[in-house]
Amino acid sequence: MQPANRRDIFLGMLALAVFAALAFVRQAQERAAPSSVPSSYDTGRLGYRALYDLLGQQGFQVSRFEDHHQLLNASITTLVFATGEGAPDPQAFTRNDVIAIKRWTAAGGHLIVLSSRYDLGDAVLGLPASRSQQLMTVAHPVFPALLPGVRSVRGIFAGGFAYDAAPKAVPLLATHKNLVALRYRMGKGFVVAFTDAALFGNQRLALADNARLAYDLFAAAPGAIAFDEAIHGNIGGDSFWSVLPAPAHAAAYLLLVATLLAALGSAVRFAPPVELAPADERGSGDYISAMGRLLARAKAAGKAVRDDAEPVMRAVRRSVNAPADAPMKVVVERLKSGALQRSVRELHHLTQLDHPSDRELLRAGALCARLRKDFT
């Protein structure tokens, strides 16, 4: 084996080993830290399942909103809008979604937004823009009287609001550098914004006074609490199948069974094939075509026309009292009908042809049949 070939094989095996090691490390990381989102269904570190269950145990009326935002109404008092890493993706919301949430809030709704960054400004519910800051893990109430029993909360506050970002807003939590939670009016309702998307998540709810803060937050607006699951893709509602009546279901099942049987019958042969007998029924067209081909081969089409027209011509002569040897011109002049004159003249012309075509042969037959009815 040449040295160059051995080197290529060694490099190839080394590359395969590196790829295998990277795949193993990535798989181990995925097992160690499974993906998690701030959803009330999620039991992972970022999920809100613990808060959802806690609120239910404390007697709050808690549910999940899994419809289009245009269906928000007064039956929901508080909407928890947790967007995970970063601000809401503009592609995830249409303008109608934003307008619907604003309309619901302005009508008296209590909107709680948890996001690690607010960089869309007024495009998303009038929230002030946030700015990055040095990672902060502890925040304290700005006005302790607004949050009784809360001394400090623990989270990951990578962003913060400037104190002058929203002049009409009430600051709730702050680090020693920036605000990390604020509250402001929107119409008859109000919005509370936090800069940690997982502040009340499963991993952080039990830290410091986070649970106490959550209780004070929801107790401030008693009523029905809903976690917005539409932002996470959990859209409920009736499907097309569910709204169909029972007869339509039965018809669909029968159609499916018939289709399966047809497919099975065409794919699997259950008996030897049977050859169908050829069709034996022939019409008048087949007879005429066969006779035309026979006469053409025998070159007797002209004789056939004359033989067929001879008795018809005799009948025409008798009808006008013309002798058998009278010229056809004289016979035609004695006919009173112009249509009969034309038919007799055309038939006489066809009898003079030695080799009439198939079309002329058929025409002669039709004239003979018509004149036979008139003169015999």
* Same domain membership, residue 308 and residue 204: no
Helix (H) / strand (E) element for 309: namely helix 301-319
CATH number of residue 226's parent domain: 3.40.50.880
Q: Is residue 168 part of a domain?
A: yes
Q: Which residue has the higher pLDDT, 253 or 152?
A: 152
DSSP 47: -
Average pLDDT, integer, range 310-325: 86
* Same domain membership, residue 164 and residue 97: yes
- For residues 225, 231, 233 and 237, what is the CA-based torsion angle, rounded to 10 degrees? 50
Distances (CA, A) of 251 to 241, 244, 247, 263: 12, 11, 6, 18
Average pLDDT, the chain: 79
Q: Which residue has the higher pLDDT, 187 or 88?
A: 187
Point out the least confidently predicted range of 113-127, 154-168, 199-213, 246-260.
113-127
pLDDT at 78 over 60: yes
pLDDT band per the 50, 70, 90 thresholds, residue 146: confident
- Sign of the four-CA dihedral 124, 126, 131, 133: negative
pLDDT at 104 over 90: yes
Most confident residue range from 14-23, 119-128, 161-170: 161-170
pTM exceeding 0.75: no
Is 142 in a helix, a strand, or coil? coil
Average pLDDT, integer, range 216-230: 87
Nearest to 201 by CA among 32, 87, 50: 50
Most confident residue range from 96-110, 323-337, 357-371: 96-110
Alpha carbon distance 47, 198 (integer Å) = 7
Which residue range is the domain that position 345 belongs to? 286-375
Q: Is residue 96 part of a domain?
A: yes
Q: Is residue 200 part of a domain?
A: yes
Q: Which amino acid is at 346?
A: E
Q: Is residue 251 part of a domain?
A: no
* Same domain membership, residue 206 and residue 102: yes
* Same domain membership, residue 301 and residue 175: no
pLDDT band per the 50, 70, 90 thresholds, residue 17: low
